[in-house]
Structure 1
Amino acid sequence: MRFGLALRAFWKALFDQASAERIAVALDEHAVPRLEKASAELSESTKKTQPIRKLSPAQNPAITLLATLQRDARLIDLIHEDLDQYQDAQVGAAARPCLKQCRQSLDRILKIEKLVDAKENETVTVPAGATAARYRWIGESSANGEATAKLVHPGWRAASVELPQWSGNEEDAQVIAPAQVSAP
């Protein structure tokens, strides 16, 4: 529960300035959010003549990731294509460059690496207290503490996250890819 909450707070603080300020206030009871501080410092006459500038909302990180994969590799186009009308060889030929570009994009913005540094079918040690987010037992395990197990899949983790910063308008925050048009 706390781990999930910490991750949610991390992502909100990273990509949403208003949420970051609320989190800062929650962690330090003496802090005052910049937006509230700025509005408190304005005089009554200034408040009547000048509207308080709202921060532009951040784009959801999932939308940013999808937009990047669409822009770089046209992943959404491939996923939404009716593949039943094509032969397997045609689908594979179309998917290969898309998948290569997706990997390059993910390597650039997420730095993905194996969670467990071992090969499949090797014996690995699962530490005591390992979470289900890191180790998922296939079948039943009677292990209560540290245990050895056969590695079925090494898992993946993001070593770093460097998503592009959103700078668009509020009404465009949900756009994954713009419509492309040409002159008649």
Structure 2
Amino acid sequence: MTLVSEPQTVTIHTADNHEPLVDLRDVPELRLARRLAGEHGGYARLRTSVVDRLLSAQKRLPHGIRLLIVEAYRPYRPDELDLPDPHHTGGAVDVTLCTGDGTELDLGSRVLDGPEASANACYTAARNISIAALRNRANLWTVLRREGLTNYPTEWWHWSYGDRYWALNNGVPNTLYAPVTVELP
């Protein structure tokens, strides 16, 4: 398993196609969890192509199941970090599944619970989860992979498109998206 911080990932050339960020609060087809909502909705922004892929993926889910976006863009300040977070590109998203009314489905652990808090159930390939959680993860995996997103294997909920980890896993020499600074009101 290759991690985001390993040399083969961080040495991927960073390029940017200048695709705009979309405010997911303006995309009613996608549900947003509000638990990490910043005052200005910075968490609710993704690159246009990623939004299009999520919308397409959602159409492939079983009837009554929807994507629930927990977090997307994280505000970026170039002087703060040596290694930018994938969320700084607007190409990474923390996503789970929910019912039409927003009730989260069982995927084996809570989004953002690490190995200790989840008894390692946070790993995408975890087997210490219920049959229902395995089925739900398989649904999420199938629809997002079909749309070209890449999963980070230590976090079943973390998916990306166009960032360094995506480029590495798809044999692409450079990213589509670089970290971007967004002026929030």
Q: Would the TM-score normalized by the shorter structure come out above 0.5?
A: no
Which one has a bigger Cα radius of gyration? 1
Q: Which has the higher contact order (CA 8 A, sep 6+)?
A: 2
**TM-score, normalisation: structure 1:** 0.25
Q: Greater strand percent: which structure?
A: 2
Q: Greater helix percent: which structure?
A: 1
